[in-house]
């Protein structure tokens, strides 16, 4: 294993690293020594608990990026310290603080869930360290709370939900049934969908996050006969819903979803999800050389189809490589480093990619559909581009300082 799951191993490298720092101390101002020490990356991912498969995608995407870059960023050797946040904000803060203060990481990368990002954002940015989120893209950090030290290679959640609203609008669906879990992200999904959909929402149903059996809701859908169903059911909820939706014979009603059918859940949904719709800024079948190399090698190394979590982490590795190259491996000038990251001078697996004023991506969004590949595996595939060079709705609220 190239990465450090093992705390004992991390401690040994820490000791070695500490020794090196002491020896190098007299020469710390010389440019040459900075270039020889490894760049340390704190990779935050949830690797235990029910959401671990998402964190695994995220970690493996980064690790493939490292493999393709010969474990180097801009020519400097990289040491990745994998941090399992356990999906517990308190644990995440403790471990990330340790990575900042003890391991002296140069960048913090990763983070699947917004609540974890919300917990670690201040400790990281207050220490003057750049944080590249490769999945969580909360509205708070896109608008008023935007930070010069914070970038994301994913999206703002509202954008993805609004794509589905636009899809429903463009498909001339007049009556849509909405089904989401009863918590903040569920209500945000409904708001995002409604921001673009102008037809009638025949009913909105909120279910507990622990729901297993959807038969009551499915009976309701059948009795209302909507033109389409919009849903946001992450993880196991989505697996249960998709299977039961298909089994109830409702698949003739278009299934519009966000974060419900993706490569992380498709192995369990399989045929039941065939033809169902999703929205994203990337899909495994995107036709560009960078993406083809990514998907082919990812499957070769890890033996499963990558999801967007992996693609966005892979992009983060390429992004940081381009930035470190631009500043010649010298991190002392934070403004230069920030500008180098903001330039986004790399080939993204999703094609066109640039950062907006709030350092969130300005990118295209696609309607996706679940398909079976010739090799029998399932993946989402692009249907059509729905939003072009889309800027998230919170960017106008961001007052980003020009200099740090």
Find the shortest distance in angstroms from Cβ 60 to another protein: 11
Q: Provide the minimum distance between the beta carbon of 247 and another protein in the complex, in angstroms, as a whole number.
A: 4
The residue (of 54 and 386) whose beta carbon lies closer to another protein is 54
Q: How far is the CB of 186 from another protein (least distance, A)?
A: 10
CB of 265 to another protein, least distance (A): 7
Strands 76-84 and 72-73 turn out to be antiparallel
Contacts of 289 (CB under 8 A, 6+ apart): 347
What six digits make up the tokens of 147? 């930070």
In contact, 316 and 73? CB cutoff 8 Å: no
**Burial zone of 53 (CB within 10 Å; 0-12 exposed, 13-18 middle, 19+ buried):** buried
Quick one: 109 or 207, whose CB is closer to another protein?
Answer: 207
Q: What is the nearest approach in angstroms of another protein to the Cβ of residue 184?
A: 12
Cβ nearer to another protein, comparing 239 with 370? 239
Nearest approach, Cβ of 63 to another protein (angstroms)? 15
Residue 182 CA, distance from chain mean position:
22
* Pick 48 or 388: Cβ nearer another protein: 48
DSSP class of 376: S
Q: Which two tokens stand for residue 33?
A: 């020594």
Q: Where do runs of H (alpha helix) occur along 102-156?
A: 114-126, 139-142
Q: What is the residue whose two structure tokens read 């990026």?
A: 65
Angle at 268 between CA 265 and CA 273, to 5 degrees: 75
Per the structure block, which two tokens stand in for 42? Answer: 């704190």
Considering beta carbons, is residue 248 or 343 the nearer one to another protein? Answer: 248
C-beta closer to another protein: residue 69 or 251:
251
Q: Point out which residues bind another protein (CB under 8 A).
A: 47-50, 52-53, 55-56, 182, 187, 204-208, 210, 212-213, 215-220, 222-223, 225, 235-236, 239-240, 243-244, 247-250, 252, 264-265, 267-270, 304
Q: How far is the CB of 215 from another protein (least distance, A)?
A: 4
Establish how many alpha carbons lie within 13 A of residue 179's alpha carbon, considering only the half-sphere containing its beta carbon: 27
d(CA 140, CA 124): 16
| Smaller CB separation from another protein, 100 or 233 | 233
């Amino acid at each position: 294993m190239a990465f450090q799951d093992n705390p004992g191993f991390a401690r040994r490298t820490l000791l070695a690293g500490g020794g090196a720092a002491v020896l190098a101390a007299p020469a710390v101002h010389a440019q040459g020594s900075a270039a020889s020490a490894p760049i340390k990356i704190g990779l935050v991912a949830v690797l235990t608990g029910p959401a671990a498969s998402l964190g695994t995608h995220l970690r493996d995407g980064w690790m493939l990026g490292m493999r393709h870059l010969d474990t180097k960023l801009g020519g400097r050797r990289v040491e990745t310290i994998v941090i399992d946040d356990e999906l517990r904000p308190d644990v995440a803060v403790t471990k990330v603080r340790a990575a900042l203060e003890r391991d002296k990481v140069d960048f913090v990368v990763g983070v699947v869930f917004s609540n974890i990002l919300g917990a670690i954002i201040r400790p990281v940015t207050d220490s003057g360290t750049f944080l590249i989120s490769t999945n969580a893209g909360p509205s708070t950090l896109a608008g008023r709370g935007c930070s010069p030290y914070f970038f994301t290679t994913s999206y703002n959640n509202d954008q993805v939900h609004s794509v589905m609203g636009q899809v429903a609008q463009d498909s001339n669906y007049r009556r849509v049934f909405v089904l989401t879990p009863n918590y903040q992200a569920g209500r945000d999904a409904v708001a995002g969908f409604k921001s673009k959909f102008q037809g009638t929402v025949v009913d909105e149903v909120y279910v507990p996050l622990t729901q297993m059996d959807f038969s009551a809701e499915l009976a309701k859908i059948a009795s209302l006969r909507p033109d389409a169903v919009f849903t946001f059911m992450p993880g196991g909820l989505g697996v249960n819903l998709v299977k039961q939706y298909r089994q109830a014979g409702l698949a003739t009603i278009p299934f519009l979803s966000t974060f419900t059918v993706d490569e992380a859940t498709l192995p369990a949904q399989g045929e039941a999800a065939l033809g169902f719709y999703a929205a994203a800024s990337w899909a495994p079948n995107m036709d560009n050389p960078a993406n083809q190399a990514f998907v082919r090698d990812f499957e070769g190394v890890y033996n499963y189809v990558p999801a967007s979590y992996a693609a966005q982490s892979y992009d983060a590795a390429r992004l940081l490589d381009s930035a470190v190259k631009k500043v010649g491996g010298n991190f002392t000038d934070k403004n230069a480093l920030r500008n180098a990251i903001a330039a986004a001078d790399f080939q993204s697996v999703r094609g066109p990619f640039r950062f907006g004023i709030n350092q969130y991506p300005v990118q295209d969004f696609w309607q996706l559909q679940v398909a079976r590949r010739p090799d029998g595996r399932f993946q989402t595939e692009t249907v059509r581009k729905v939003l072009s060079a889309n800027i998230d709705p919170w960017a106008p609220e961001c007052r980003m300082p020009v200099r740090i």
